[in-house]
Amino acid sequence: MEILLSINIKEKIYNLRDLEVMLDSDLAELYGVETKRINEAVIRNPDKFPDDFIFECSQEEWKILKSQNATSNWGGRRHIPKAFTEQGVYMLATVLKSVQATEVTISIMRTFTKLRHYALEHSDLSVHIHKLHQEMLQNKQWTKDRLSAVADAIIMLEESFDELKEMVSQIGAAKEVEAIGFLRSSTKQ
């Protein structure tokens, strides 16, 4: 059950504003309550939920989240969701005060810790990806420059061929010149 819950939680953690967050509706599902109960708890305890614990998603963030989760049950939602940071999730558990909320929050905290540990272990990947991206951009520019040089060479060749054609046509149009040299017996007088 713990592993299954951990996998389910990872799927419900999003990155918004460079923060790992969970949406009110996902927390409600995990805690086994309605989303409005989560939001009521926040409204009743505003001093426990400062802006760095919870924030309302922007319209743009909400559109992005919906597009990433096409199979979600968010389709009928009327309000833009609230996003809880790790600290906000913990604080929410303190105001909900149910056994399920406590158990789920422990799993959520462990999942956040695993994600943080994973990010630290693999921080070199970001540097490596950035380096590869820079190399790709350099290769792209090099290829673009080479293709441009080839296109210029083709244009120069076409112009040279056009000049040669013109010269050949001028030679062919020149008047016939008397043959110099020996005459054939049939042309002798």
- Indicate whether 52 pLDDT > 70: yes
The whole-number average pLDDT for the span 60-64 is 84
Average pLDDT, the chain: 80
118 or 179: which leads in pLDDT? 118
HSE (CB half, 13 Å, CA atoms) of 119? 9
Out of 16-25, 47-56, 108-117, least confident range: 108-117
pLDDT cut 70: percent of the chain above it:
80
The whole-number average pLDDT for the span 83-96 is 85
Distance (Å, whole) CA 153 – CA 150:
5
Kindly report the CA angle at 52 between 49 and 57, in degrees rounded to 5? 90
Supply the pTM of this predicted model: 0.52
Phi, psi of 40, rounded to the nearest 5 degrees: -65, -40
> How many other CB atoms are there within 10 angstroms of residue 112's CB atom?
20
Distance (Å, whole) CA 66 – CA 80:
11
Q: Largest alpha-carbon pair distance within the chain?
A: 130
Helix, strand, coil percentages (3-state) for the chain, rounded to 5, are 70, 10, 20
* Strand 82-85 versus strand 13-16 pairing type: unpaired
Predicted pLDDT at 71: 42
List residues bridging with 56 in a β-sheet. Answer: 82
C-alpha distances in angstroms, 97 versus 32, 45, 100, 104, 112? 13, 13, 9, 12, 21
Distance (Å, whole) CA 114 – CA 9:
11
